[in-house]
Structure 1
């Protein structure tokens, strides 16, 4: 039988002389009905360009197919070569027959239109729905991807949603018309493990119902093991190895495939937790950071005069201590309050009540040290593109009222060398560095004022797996050297397992379980922690059947004056507490 999609000797280039600037060369593969092909590789390997070429979206980014063919079997049985198809033909195919989930939802959604309007557009164009029918279908699409308060969020614009929520919007849009071929470009990178499992369940359910085929681009080998039938490994624009799932995972032949499999952190249910470098809490020891009763609420307004009718309880009574030399990981779903907690501690969002304090260490320069610094998720957006690296690293000193003197320059040079970058980097600009190098620069900048606490908000989630491994090693080494305390925000349980000494699990704005990392991961006590751990993909779970959970995520909106009951805890061992549900 003719395959649904047949790509033969595909080559893609960019610029005026595309043939001389090819970034994809000689890629070939076939995809049958109901089959899933996983394309894996690091940034720059050509996997996303290959995907964008299939529906010719690469044309809009300055790319050009310089050779090969892309044959799609149409619904009527005919075959169309997309490589040479006219734009009107492609317009009818995009969205209806070939759906696509993009990696960066913020750049893929119109910032001035509500998400309801943007999702409804697919139903208007391809199903002929109008007005309320299209909006009702949009709400159903959001419900399918477990968007909390879906009806209310239809009116939101993209800037009002978190990265994880925005990716759910993208997925809902792509699945709106039940396409025969779905191209998913890192669709779950920004999502926590439970929502990731639900998205995988939804994709699997659609496959069973419609026979949909899928091209799944990812760096998560655990996800590949759970969903793929075939795997293609790309490096430097070429397919270096491809074959059946078990063959690639169990008997990789190419050195690059072996490297990828070795670099990916594998979740080991607490067996790989850290036991080195942690400073045990002495009776009179001063915490590097202490948070007591932290509450963050946002008013919900409605009516003609915009009166407050309720409040979003983003963070509700969070308490923890972080000791010098210790890493506390905060894990939970998107919207659970983990990033809001970190930002409140930094003063980036205003807390409603509660207290927090951080110890101040002796400054490395004559300027006064700031006790808490932050490394953000996106290294590309965290550095001013118009400043040299020397100016970027000097920014914290200037912002704290200091001057760039010989002592400051010596600190810059020392930290630059310590994060593994050459001294000649100082006169260069951020665009001249890779993602991993930029994140190293962000780490160096955070250490300029010798903080006692560094907040890492999804600091390695945007990096390739091998780069991620090196940055994690750097963080561990710096912690040992400087006695840093890390507040590590993450949705990746395998990464958390390798860097955390202690773990706090946040659900609906409250800590529901906290304690020693090994104890929490190996013997979770709270139902939500168990759910988180059960959802972690691993390389051992082949072609896993994800079960779709249709239960609604609880809303964080509460009526005015509502106060939760004081927390009650069960204690399991010397450092493991679990919240007792009311």
Structure 2
């Protein structure tokens, strides 16, 4: 519910709307183009005045559905937060992007296909022509978000509403998306409403900021005024909760590899994952996608190794191969519980989306029992005692066992996911973007919980993330993956403060911070290298350069 929200937006201006989940940010955005009508909501008061291309003024609250159909997509573009729920799962990416060009620009046939390919090229999706033939389930979350952005920008709208458009993207692609949006603003005078929880991003793009809480705008004003002199307590709380990137100065120092004599909790050697590319003739393999190539590392008990890199670089594929969710082409895995056959109990995973990773039909006691049953054990009284202990440890009440997932907030659901992952007393937790879907204040609480659990149980974390500020907060070591290969790995403070590989430097320089105001984002026209190789291709052995006892980087040509 939204009450009494008012603001003006001039041509070419960007308004950032910030606030936590449930504050009314998205409802405000959906109301502007009347999409809130389709969600069971309705506008009960106020007006929404849109100045159109012919300088006429239209009150969108009184517009007919026929008028709104012409405006949506053409004059008001919308980028949604969840690409998987916004794209049709049974249609190819190309078909869905072409639709915008067909409806609003009258393009057909080859012209529409060429325009769709150009749209993907603009948001830096490699192998754009091939990706047009993919369905949504064949692309990563970050790739899908880029598809959504490409679709929204297809018709150069006068107003773009972007609802958390870069949440699933790594910082380099995020910077390119922001550069693309800035370029469109300069060329067309496009206005933008940008909804985000990333204050660093707000500092780099916004002209004005509106802070929302419980359906109301509690503070709004010019960018510098809100960031430097916030007056409302909630704004002050929000700014304080945001993790700030400090170029390695805030990296953890509570674990030293040289001081531990333990065996690795997880040892990965030569991990390679390839997916066949099949041609149209008899569906024979014509090549292979080298998704992960020769990845190796040691992860010690009590240590956190963060894996960072672009969406599609191989981060999640690496994690899923370690867990056996994706079949590896070659490579070995060893845990301190034994060989790969024992990975099920020794290595557990916490997924990105707590809303999607919990079965809504099961009570919490059944959810926590799932890994126990899957391992072949019996849910005994002792196991039920462990459930209660873990619930208490992650900050949830005992009566949570009798409740269902929909009765919990996002942060509480992720705590449930952590408790479930700990049921089998694993030595390694794989955390795949485990806090990226959470509000910043909840995110800080979950990170603190993870650090406490690590110290208490000696857990090793494989932490996959695109948020460099979060990585700096939790990681002891960092591995940078680019195009399926680790290009740099070492002590977190060293990698973040003195990056040696050109891609790592590019990654760190793209991190948005509150100190960088109204940044002049520049488009990077360099193409991400294709991961498709011909059958039988084997890359040359990597050459490493050592810069510190625990800091190496791949030699560059």
Please tell me the TM-score bracket, short chain as reference: over 0.9
Offset, 1:244? 0.1
Q: Is the 8 A contact 1:296 1:313 kept in 2?
A: yes
Alpha-carbon RMSD: 1.2
Aligned to 1:13: none
Taking structure 1 as the reference length, the TM-score comes to 0.94
Aligned to 1:580: 555
Offset, 1:360? 2.2
1:429-468 pair list within 5 angstroms: 429-468=404-443
Aligned to 2:386: 411
Offset, 1:282? 5.3
Offset, 1:377? 0.3
1:54-133 pair list within 5 angstroms: 54-133=32-111
Q: Against the structure 1 CA distance between its residues 368 and 139, is the aligned structure 2 distance closer, same or farther, given a 3 Å change threshold?
A: closer
Q: Determine helix, strand or coil for the equivalent of 2:42.
A: strand
Aligned to 1:140: 118
Q: Find 1:199's aligned residue among 177, 190, 194.
A: 177
Taking structure 2 as the reference length, the TM-score comes to 0.98
Aligned to 1:315: 292
> What are the Cα deviations for residues 57-77 of structure 1, in whole angstroms up to 9, with x where unaligned?
000110100110001111111
> What are the Cα deviations for residues 150-200 of structure 1, in whole angstroms up to 9, with x where unaligned?
011111111111110101110000000101100000000000000000000
> What are the Cα deviations for residues 16-53 of structure 1, in whole angstroms up to 9, with x where unaligned?
xxxxxxx1000000000100000000000000000000
> What are the Cα deviations for residues 464-504 of structure 1, in whole angstroms up to 9, with x where unaligned?
00000000000000000000000000000000000000000
Aligned to 2:13: 35
Q: Determine helix, strand or coil for the equivalent of 1:578.
A: strand
Q: Is the 8 A contact 2:433 2:463 kept in 1?
A: yes
Q: Determine helix, strand or coil for the equivalent of 1:572.
A: strand
Aligned to 1:6: none
CA–CA distance in structure 1, aligned partners of residues 526 and 261 of structure 2:
46
Offset, 1:285? 2.8
Q: Determine helix, strand or coil for the equivalent of 2:48.
A: strand
Q: Determine helix, strand or coil for the equivalent of 1:24.
A: coil
Say whether 1:540 aligns with 2:515. Answer: yes
Q: Is the 8 A contact 1:453 1:484 kept in 2?
A: yes
Q: Find 1:331's aligned residue among 292, 300, 308.
A: 308
CA–CA distance in structure 1, aligned partners of residues 72 and 39 of structure 2:
16
Which one has the bigger strand percentage?
Answer: 1
Q: Is the 8 A contact 1:369 1:449 kept in 2?
A: no
Q: Is the 8 A contact 1:123 1:177 kept in 2?
A: yes
Q: Which runs of 5+ in 2 are unaligned?
A: none
Q: Is the 8 A contact 1:42 1:465 kept in 2?
A: yes
CA–CA distance in structure 2, aligned partners of residues 167 and 395 of structure 1:
31
Say whether 1:479 aligns with 2:454. Answer: yes
Stretch of structure 1 that moved more, 369-378 or 311-320: 369-378
CA–CA distance in structure 1, aligned partners of residues 165 and 185 of structure 2:
16
CA–CA distance in structure 2, aligned partners of residues 152 and 193 of structure 1:
25
Say whether 1:213 aligns with 2:188. Answer: no
Q: Is the 8 A contact 1:569 1:577 kept in 2?
A: yes
Q: Determine helix, strand or coil for the equivalent of 2:43.
A: strand
Q: Is the 8 A contact 1:270 1:521 kept in 2?
A: yes
Offset, 1:402? 1.1
Q: Is the 8 A contact 1:46 1:237 kept in 2?
A: yes
Q: Is the 8 A contact 2:335 2:343 kept in 1?
A: no
